[in-house]
Amino acid sequence: MEVVIAPPGELARLAADAVEGLVRANPEAVLGLATGSSPLAVYDELVRRHEAGLSFARARAFMLDEYVGLPADHPERYRNVIDKEFASRVDLAPGAVQGPDGLAADLPAACAAYEQAIADAGGVDLQILGIGTDGHIAFNEPGSSLASRTRIKTLTKQTREDNARFFGGSVDDVPRHCLTQGLATIMSARHLVLLASGRTKAEAVHQLVEGPVSAMWPATIMQLHPHATVLVDDAAASRLQLADYYRQTYAEKPDWQGL
Ligand code: F6R
């Protein structure tokens, strides 16, 4: 696991560098997209690079998760958020972005179909991730099976409170259930790039990087991934025991070595 501690602008550029390098090497790359605040600066940076010539025309993308039951035109439906924040601002082909169907009549069947769609695409090459204050990745809340696949989850009170800011501050308007890629689904992606900023993420980041692997802090499963990159600002890094070592490692990183 590589940990980079840097100002937010640099973190977004590093994540965008990884995506750009991948898409230039393989224009048909499969991207994994997260919603929430953490990846927004990365999407803005990728849009700038698209305007400067980077094309996503042959790429495909899979979303991490979706709320259950939000109407198709709801602005906070993750499908609509991704369209607004990224897909509609670049040249991804129509239908190139897929997400779990939170409006399906048969939700377990929709989850199984989503797993199959990811497998049929050859798996995700690079998965962008944020982390919840309770250590969730995607919506794998504490207690999630470390071997889980896409399924229905109940959101914790903490996550619904954290996300109320997207629903005009009203916790009651945040859905109670979601469909989410499982931890094993995420672990199947070939490169994981997680971004976290702010002091509220500090404990979750400490557990993710330095805690014991445990379903209590689902993101800790990333310690078992052969290619995981954790990009954090000073505040999110403030509880890391080995922060000085991670800073030294990044400062002494050879120029030729990408993320
Ligand atoms: C969103 C997702 C969540 C968020 C996490 C952090 O698709 O999967 O795991 O990444 O809740 O959210 P932000 O970035 O808003 O702090």
Residue 116 tokens read as 């199959």
Residue 94 tokens read as 């129509």
Q: Hey, whose CA ends up nearest to atom 15 of ligand 1? A: 36
Radius of gyration of the chain (CA): 17
> Looking at the whole model, is its pTM more than 0.95?
yes
171: confidence class by pLDDT, cuts 50, 70, 90: very high
180: confidence class by pLDDT, cuts 50, 70, 90: very high
Q: Check pLDDT > 90 for residue 257.
A: no
Active site residue 106: no
Let me know: does 80 contact 87? Beta carbons within 8 Å: no
Query: What value does the mean pLDDT take over residues 129-158?
Result: 97
| Protein residues with CB under 6 Å of any ligand 1 atom | 34-38, 64-65, 130-132, 136-139
Give me the catalytic one of 125, 141, 162, 233: 141
Active site residue 134: yes
Quick one: CA dihedral 109, 115, 119, 120, positive or negative? positive
Q: Measure 235 CA to ligand 1 centroid, in angstroms.
A: 17
Helix ranges restricted to H, the chain: 8-25, 40-51, 78-85, 107-120, 157-163, 183-187, 202-210, 243-251
CA-nearest of 259, 106, 111, 116 to 181 is 111
Query: What value does the mean pLDDT take over residues 33-50?
Result: 98
Q: Which atom of ligand 1 is nearest to the CA of 78?
A: 7
Give me the catalytic one of 134, 162, 191, 233: 134
Active site residue 65: yes
Give me the catalytic one of 45, 50, 101, 136: 136
Residues 39 and 129: their CA atoms lie apart, in Å, by 7
| Edge-to-edge strand list for the sheet holding 151-154 | 65-67, 177-180, 151-154
